[in-house]
């Protein structure tokens, strides 16, 4: 039975040490108790503030933004949107139909009045022109021969007149000489008319060739190239079925204007010559001076609008037709003043608080406010006043703040 003690020893080695297990479990239990306690404390604090906000909520405030604007924008009496267009713009094509032989321009090229833009094929007309020019030379040679002949007949007639005056000639010879001279002179007149006709036919052929050349009708910039070599040009063409109608579109970019629509209700605020500021989406950091050129005397009764044209007085190379633009119509005053484009800081006049010769605004910072000292310049314009201080465009300030508002106070923004 010697194996029995050995078996008991092996079974004892498999026994679990419960003292170590209980120590480790107590530590884990203490950790979770601490976590639970912190959660309860945090929840209690949150519940306290939630209950506090319900019992005594933070004051509700209205807010607006700090704006970076030019003085002209502040004084805007009416705003309208539209598109840029060139007052002088043309789709340029040939006077006669034909196939394009060469195009001499590309988009963006600047051309002068009369410059050759493109040319249609005219080899057949060249041959006709050459034939007519030869006909002119032949007619002129025949005319020269006839003039020599009439000169001779004139001398013969003069000789017969002299002989007849000395009773040395006969009446028949005198009349024959006179007739031959007059016939020769009439033949010269006919040949001169023939020369004039052949020259006119030359000019006709030259004009036909010129009609196949496309020239710039005015100085400007090529904004679109509408045809390529080999394509057919058809005056008045409206598509592939009838051929292209133009070779290129030419626009004078020094004479740009905004084509915009204004509601009938606001038409009384506008007048011809009124200054304006023009902002273009493609050039966001610039403002252009404008002037109302024309109120088109035709309304659109279905939309209740009137078309208005506003001239851009100082266009640059960044502007071109079909760009979207916004017109800020200004009160009637000098264009120079209307064109002031310096960005300045404006806030609603209702945001400025004045106490004891000191001015400040309440700036919203997340859910509380901070007092920011400012100085103002000038009177309120359209509800806005220019300020200087530790503010930035886009920041929010409190409108009509309550007198009891204090530094760092929590607030609730009214939407």
Kindly tell me if the per-residue pLDDT of 239 is higher than 50.
no
Beta carbons within 8 Å of 147's beta carbon, 6+ residues apart:
188
58: its two tokens: 């933070």
pTM for the predicted model, two decimal places: 0.58
Kindly tell me if the per-residue pLDDT of 138 is higher than 60.
yes
* Whole-number pLDDT of residue 49: 47
pLDDT tens column, 65-112: 888 877 666 666 788 999 999 999 999 998 889 999 999 999 999 999
Instruction: Identify the helix (H) or strand (E) that includes residue 300.
Output: strand 283-300
Angle between helices 171-210 and 123-165 (to 10 degrees): 160
**∠ CA 117-121-126 to the nearest 5 degrees?**
110
* Whole-number pLDDT of residue 25: 53
| Stated length of the chain | 415
Going by pLDDT thresholds of 50, 70 and 90, the confidence category of residue 18 is: low
pLDDT tens column, 162-202: 998 998 889 999 999 999 999 999 999 999 999 999 999 99
Name which residue leads in pLDDT, 294 or 72. 294
d(CA 406, CA 218): 68
- Closest CA relative to residue 73, chosen from 377, 379, 386: 386
Kindly tell me if the per-residue pLDDT of 15 is higher than 60.
no
Exposed/middle/buried for residue 366 (C-beta within 10 Å: 0-12, 13-18, 19+): exposed
Exposed/middle/buried for residue 72 (C-beta within 10 Å: 0-12, 13-18, 19+): buried
* Whole-number pLDDT of residue 31: 60
Kindly tell me if the per-residue pLDDT of 48 is higher than 50.
no
Query: Which residues of 228-282 form beta strands (DSSP E)?
Result: 232-233, 248-251, 256-263, 275-280
Mean pLDDT across the chain: 83
Going by pLDDT thresholds of 50, 70 and 90, the confidence category of residue 356 is: confident
Q: DSSP character for 59?
A: P
Kindly tell me if the per-residue pLDDT of 16 is higher than 70.
no
Q: Which of 55-64, 108-117, 406-415 has the highest mean pLDDT?
A: 108-117
Instruction: Identify the helix (H) or strand (E) that includes residue 178.
Output: helix 171-210
Over residues 317-334, the mean pLDDT reads 86
Name which residue leads in pLDDT, 223 or 57. 223
d(CA 119, CA 103): 7
Do residues 306 and 369 touch, judged by C-beta distance below 8 A? no
Name which residue leads in pLDDT, 394 or 76. 394
d(CA 84, CA 132): 50
Do residues 369 and 405 touch, judged by C-beta distance below 8 A? yes
């Amino acid at each position: 039975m010697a194996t029995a003690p050995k078996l008991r020893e092996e079974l004892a080695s498999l026994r679990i040490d419960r003292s170590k297990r209980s120590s480790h479990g107590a530590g884990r239990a203490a950790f979770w108790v601490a976590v639970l306690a912190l959660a309860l404390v945090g929840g209690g604090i949150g519940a306290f503030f939630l209950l506090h906000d319900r019992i005594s909520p933070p004051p509700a405030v209205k807010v607006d933004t700090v704006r970076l604007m030019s003085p002209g924008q502040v004084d805007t009496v009416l705003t309208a949107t539209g598109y840029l267009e060139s007052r002088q713009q043309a789709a340029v094509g040939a006077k006669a139909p034909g196939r394009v032989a060469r195009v001499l321009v590309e988009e963006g090229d600047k051309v002068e009045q009369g410059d050759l833009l493109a040319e249609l094929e005219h080899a057949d007309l060249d041959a006709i022109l050459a034939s007519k020019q030869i006909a002119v030379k032949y007619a002129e040679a025949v005319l020269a021969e006839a003039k020599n002949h009439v000169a001779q007949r004139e001398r013969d007639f003069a000789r017969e007149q002299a002989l007849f005056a000395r009773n040395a000639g006969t009446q028949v010879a005198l009349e024959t000489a006179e007739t031959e001279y007059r016939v020769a002179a009439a033949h010269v007149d006919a040949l001169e008319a023939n020369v004039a006709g052949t020259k006119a036919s030359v000019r006709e052929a030259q004009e036909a060739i010129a009609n196949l050349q496309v020239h710039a009708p005015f100085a400007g910039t090529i904004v679109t190239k509408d045809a390529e070599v080999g394509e057919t040009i058809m005056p008045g063409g409206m598509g592939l079925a009838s051929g292209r109608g133009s070779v290129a579109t030419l626009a004078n970019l020094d004479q740009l204007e905004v084509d915009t629509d204004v509601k009938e209700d606001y038409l009384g605020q506008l007048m011809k010559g009124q200054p304006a500021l023009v902002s273009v989406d493609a050039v966001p950091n610039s403002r252009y001076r404008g002037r109302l050129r024309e109120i088109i005397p035709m309304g659109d009764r279905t939309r209740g609008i009137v078309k208005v044209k506003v001239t851009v007085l100082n266009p640059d190379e960044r502007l071109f037709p079909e760009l979207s633009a916004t017109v800020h119509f200004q009160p009637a005053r000098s264009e120079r003043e209307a064109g002031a484009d310096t960005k300045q800081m404006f806030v609603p006049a209702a945001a400025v608080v004045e106490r004891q010769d000191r001015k400040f605004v309440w700036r919203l910072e997340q859910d509380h406010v901070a007092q920011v000292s400012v100085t103002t310049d000038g009177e309120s314009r359209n509800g806005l006043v220019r300020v200087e201080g530790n503010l930035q465009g886009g920041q929010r300030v409190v409108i009509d703040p309550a007198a009891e508002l204090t530094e760092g106070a929590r607030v609730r923004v009214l939407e």
